[in-house]
Amino acid sequence: MKGAPRSKEFDDVYFSAENGFAETQHVFIRGNGLPEAWAGRDFTIFETGFGTGLNFLCAWRLWNETNAGRKLYFISVEKFPLSRAEIESALEMWRGNFEGEFAALLENYPGNLSGTHRIAMGENCMLTLIFEDVNVAMPELNEAIDCWFLDGFRPASNPEMWSETVFQNMARMSKKGATFATFTAAGFVKRGLATAGFDVKKIQGYGRKRDMLVGAKL
């Protein structure tokens, strides 16, 4: 796999073919008001779809630049884990955008061993990887979440990732004011999140995507 990797099963890309790194900054980082939202406190991010780990690496790098003395908890659910070699090849072009984070992920990534992996990434970051279907994993969890990265292939080709189960469990685990961001602006995602109690806004998407959704738990 070279360049922007593609899933045959879902007929979609893991990140933008134009520039996945810039897409992550626009959609998930700025879409969630980071780094301001985490200033001076410990913080828990929940991601649907770990994929290559690009979103995780961008969040942890920014954490190291802006809030290194506090602790970042990053929880990500992934049903079809990539191998270490696939991750390395997919992210090779952005190696220079990270410092020790890229090597630390490759060194500690559990391959595709099923189950839950709690991985201490240095002193200030705990990565929890849950290799399971999101609809099975979420109802079992009782975390208090500050921020959601919703990144599960486009809803039209993967509706399971954008289910009532996901939206209701997001509402259950959200701290008051918890934010979310996602690259999609699909109507049923917007309505599902609003019904679950989120204030949902459409804003400008990244690259060729006209719109995306952001919001917060009321």
Binding-site size for ligand SAM (CB under 6 A) equals: 22
Range 106-125, binding ligand SAM (CB under 6 A): none
Minimum CB–partner distance for residue 163 and ligand SAM (Å): 8
Minimum CB–partner distance for residue 154 and ligand SAM (Å): 8
171, burial (CB in 10 Å: exposed 0-12, middle 13-18, buried 19+): middle
CA dihedral 35, 39, 43, 48 (to 10 degrees): -10
Q: Contact 195/168 with Cβ under 8 angstroms?
A: no
In the set 77, 147, 150, 178, which binds ligand SAM (CB under 6 A)?
77
In the set 23, 78, 101, 146, which binds ligand SAM (CB under 6 A)?
78
Q: Contact 182/27 with Cβ under 8 angstroms?
A: yes
Range 156-175, binding ligand SAM (CB under 6 A): 158, 160-161
* DSSP three-state, residue 63: helix
In the set 27, 29, 34, 54, which binds ligand SAM (CB under 6 A)?
54
Using rule CB under 6 A, residue 51 touches ligand SAM? yes
Number of neighbours of residue 175 by Cβ within 10 angstroms: 13
How many angstroms separate the CA atoms of 182 and 192, rounded?
13
Interface stretch with ligand SAM, choices 44-52, 67-75, 105-113, 185-193 (CB under 6 A): 44-52
In the set 43, 63, 74, 153, which binds ligand SAM (CB under 6 A)?
153
Handedness of CA 162, 165, 168, 172 (dihedral sign): negative
Binding region for ligand SAM (CB under 6 A): 14-15, 47, 49-55, 77-80, 133-134, 151-153, 158, 160-161
